[in-house]
Amino acid sequence: MAVSDLVLLRHGESTANADDVFGGWLDVDLTARGRREAVRAGELIRDAGLRPAAVHTSLLRRAVDTADLVLDALKRTSVEVHRSWQLNERHYGRLQGRTRTSVRQEFGDAPYDEIRRSYDVAPPPAGLPGAVVDGESLADVRRRVVAYWDTAVAADLRAGRTTIVVAHGNSLRALCMHLDGLSPQQVTTLNVPTGVPLLYQLDDGLVPRTAGGSYLDADLALAGIAEVRAQGRGRK
């Protein structure tokens, strides 16, 4: 049975992550730490013996720059790179640009957790005139991510190309939900760390051989997941 290698990678730490801000579709930069994370991710992918032939990223600079740094570390120049808004981070409506702590203080603990972690609750819209997207639930993100998976990423994998998807916390949660068949309740506890490659080996039907995949550095992943869990609670 043929096996296709898929690497999922959340961008390196961004300025929004460092400031504990809801970044969403804001086009923020990587921090110096985030750039180091991206280079290290490339080295981990290289050391695992993976040679990507296709890369898919969002349109946001933090993902695009992460992908570029990964490919530089891999010394890979003849790689197809595709960018799509469908891999963008969740749009946080009027919460974009605000600190998580301030949102928690405004809404209270339970509503904050529901907005941030639930499957089908969207944040309040920003009310921008003519906005195509203005506040998404994870269910909304899943619809666009799965549509892109079906039309673009799956084709590369079926063609035998080792593929990297460089995206964001919520777009990758949505994709993991699809790959692993997670329920809306199960996905509420799923966290994705910045800058740690997650390897899925997929069979002919693009079903994971191991549920949840495997991080190429498990210790780094655990530390990063702990940071994600702590967001909005007065510490990074």
Annotated active-site residue 11? The verdict is yes
Kindly state the DSSP code that residue 206 receives in the 8-state scheme. Answer: S
Residue appearing with tokens 């495997």: 214
Measure CA 118 to chain center: 16
Q: Where on the phi/psi map is residue 96: left (φ > 0), alpha (ψ -120 to 50), or beta?
A: beta
> What is the largest distance, in Å, between two alpha-carbon atoms of the chain?
53
Q: Are strands 198-202 and 4-10 parallel, antiparallel or unpaired?
A: antiparallel
User: Of 11, 56, 91, 168, which one is the catalytic site residue?
Assistant: 11
User: Of 37, 89, 91, 168, which one is the catalytic site residue?
Assistant: 89
Q: 219 burial class (0-12, 13-18, 19+ CB within 10 angstroms)? A: exposed
> Known catalytic residues?
11, 89
